[in-house]
Amino acid sequence: MYDNLKIVMCGCTRSGIEISQELLKNGLDISYFVTLTEQQAITAQVSDYHSFENISKHHNIPIYYPKTYSLKENSDFNFFEDNQFDILLVAGWNRLIPEEVLGTLKFGGIGVHGSADFLPKGRGRSPINWSLIEGKSRFILQLFLMKSGIDDGEILDWEIFDINQWDTCQTLYYKNEILTSRMLIRTIPKIVNDTISPIPQKGVPTYYPKRSPKDGEIDWSKTVFEIYNFIRAITKPYSGAFTYLDGRKIFIWKAQPFDTKITYPETEEGKIVKIFLTGDFVVNCNSGLLLITEFEGGEIKVGSIFSSQIT
C-alpha cells in the first residue's frame, strides 16, 4: 500500500505481535521491530513478555534490541537518527518515548491508551487493571500523537468496548488488540495523506498509579464483588492475586461470586466453608460467598482462614 513508508514498532508483549500481524495482513509494512531480550524483560518485570523472533523471521523484519528499555542511551538515539523512520508505533511498551527519539520521525509517534473516560481522564499506568478493579462497564480506547509527557498528545481516533461480567484482564487485551489494529489501519493512511485533524485533550487530567506484583494481596474485608473484580483484574498474564494460609502464599487465578443468599452465620471473612470433590472451594466474604475454581500454592482445608498482611 505504502511501499516507501518506514514504520517502526516498539513492543515486547503478545499484544504487540498480534497488532503487528494485523497491520502486515492489511498492507502496512513494518521496517523494524524494537523489542527486549528475555533477560531485559525479566529485569524490567514485563508481564506477558513475548519474543518477536518468530514474527521477525517469518516476515523478514529486522530487530533492534535497545541498550535500555527507556531508549535514553546515545546508541538508542543513534539507531532512530540513522534510520529516519516515518512513524513509530507503540504496542506493549511500558515506557515513555524520549522527546529526542520522537524528533527523528517524519510524521511522529502513535500511542494508544484507554480508560473508562476520555483523555485526559485516566492517564498513567495499568488502566485495564484499574478499570476492572473499579468495576467499570466500558473502556474507551484512544490513539494519540505522542509527546514527551504521559498520554498527553492530541487524539487521532477512538473506539469503545464493553467491560462485561465475564471479562478478565486477558479478554480486555483481546478487545484492545482488535480495536487498536482497526484504528491504526484506518488512521495511518490519513496521517500520511494529511487528511486527519488531531483533537487536543481538554479538561483536568487524572492519573492511574503504577501497579506491581506486591499490590496483588487480597483484602478479605472487601465485598465479594470487589474481591472478584480484583482477582480478574490481575490474573494471567499478570502476576496474580494472592493471600496467605498457614504461612504459605496462595495464588488465586480464577473465581466468581457464588451466592449472596446462602450464609454461614458468625463465620469470619476469608474462611473456607466448603470444598467440593472437584477441588473448587467456597470462601466466606463480606456480603456473599466466593467460589474459587483455579488456584495454586498447596493444600487447603475446610475451616482454614486466609490471612491478609495488608496494614
CA 145 to the chain's CA centroid: 20
Last residue of a domain, one of 142, 177, 208: 208
Length in residues, the chain: 311
Q: Answer whether residue 231 is part of any domain.
A: yes
107 and 178 in a single domain? The answer is yes
Q: Please give the residue range of the domain that contains residue 232.
A: 213-296
173 and 227 in a single domain? The answer is no
Non-local CB neighbours of 235 within 8 Å, separated by 6+ positions: 168, 169, 170, 241, 253, 254
Q: What is the pLDDT of residues 125-158, one digit of tens each?
A: 999 999 999 999 999 999 999 998 999 999 999 9
For the chain, what is the mean pLDDT? 96
Query: Cell 498474564, residue?
Result: 237
Grid coordinates representing 62 are: 529486522
Residue type, 24: L
- φ, ψ of residue 117 to 5 degrees: the values are -130, 165
196 and 244 in a single domain? The answer is no
Whether the per-residue pLDDT at 288 is higher than 50: the answer is yes
Last residue of a domain, one of 148, 174, 208: 208
CATH code, domain carrying 42? 3.40.50.170
Nearest-angstrom CA–CA distance, 156 and 26: 19
217 and 130 in a single domain? The answer is no
Arithmetic mean of pLDDT, 187-199: 97
Q: Answer whether residue 168 is part of any domain.
A: yes
Count of alpha carbons within 13 angstroms of residue 194, beta-carbon side: 1
89 and 140 in a single domain? The answer is yes
Q: Answer whether residue 47 is part of any domain.
A: yes
Q: Answer whether residue 244 is part of any domain.
A: yes
| Among 54, 37, 55, 56, CA closest to 46 | 37
Last residue of a domain, one of 157, 177, 208: 208
Q: Answer whether residue 272 is part of any domain.
A: yes
Nearest-angstrom CA–CA distance, 90 and 12: 10
168 and 287 in a single domain? The answer is no
Note the pTM of the prediction, 2 decimals: 0.93
The whole-number pLDDT of residue 148 equals 86
Residue type, 2: Y
Arithmetic mean of pLDDT, 27-37: 98
The whole-number pLDDT of residue 1 equals 52
- Asked if residues 258 and 283 have their Cβ atoms less than 8 Å apart, the reply is no
Number of domains making up the chain: 2
Non-local CB neighbours of 164 within 8 Å, separated by 6+ positions: 137
136 and 29 in a single domain? The answer is yes
33 and 87 in a single domain? The answer is yes
Cis before residue 237, ω within 30 degrees of 0?
A: yes
188 and 278 in a single domain? The answer is no
Whether the per-residue pLDDT at 44 is higher than 50: the answer is yes
Look at 226 and 3; give whichever has higher pLDDT: 226
Q: What is the pLDDT of residues 198-235, one digit of tens each?
A: 999 999 999 999 999 999 999 999 999 999 999 999 99
Q: Answer whether residue 311 is part of any domain.
A: no
Residue 309 — very low, low, confident or very high, per pLDDT cuts 50/70/90?
low
The whole-number pLDDT of residue 311 equals 41
185 and 286 in a single domain? The answer is no
217: DSSP letter: B
By three-state DSSP, how is residue 8 classified? strand
By three-state DSSP, how is residue 22 classified? helix
Residue type, 70: S
Nearest-angstrom CA–CA distance, 241 and 235: 7
Q: What is the pLDDT of residues 265-284, one digit of tens each?
A: 999 999 999 999 999 999 99
83 and 227 in a single domain? The answer is no
Nearest-angstrom CA–CA distance, 193 and 292: 53
The proportion of the chain whose per-residue pLDDT surpasses 70, expressed as a percent, equals 98
The whole-number pLDDT of residue 2 equals 66
174 and 188 in a single domain? The answer is yes
Arithmetic mean of pLDDT, 104-118: 97
Planar angle of CA 39, 45, 47, nearest 5 degrees: 105
Query: Cell 509517534, residue?
Result: 109
CATH code, domain carrying 261? 3.10.25.10
Residue 4 — very low, low, confident or very high, per pLDDT cuts 50/70/90?
confident
Q: Answer whether residue 1 is part of any domain.
A: no
170, with CB counted inside 10 A (0-12, 13-18, 19+), is: middle
The proportion of the chain whose per-residue pLDDT surpasses 90, expressed as a percent, equals 96
Arithmetic mean of pLDDT, 34-41: 98
176, with CB counted inside 10 A (0-12, 13-18, 19+), is: buried
Whether the per-residue pLDDT at 101 is higher than 70: the answer is yes
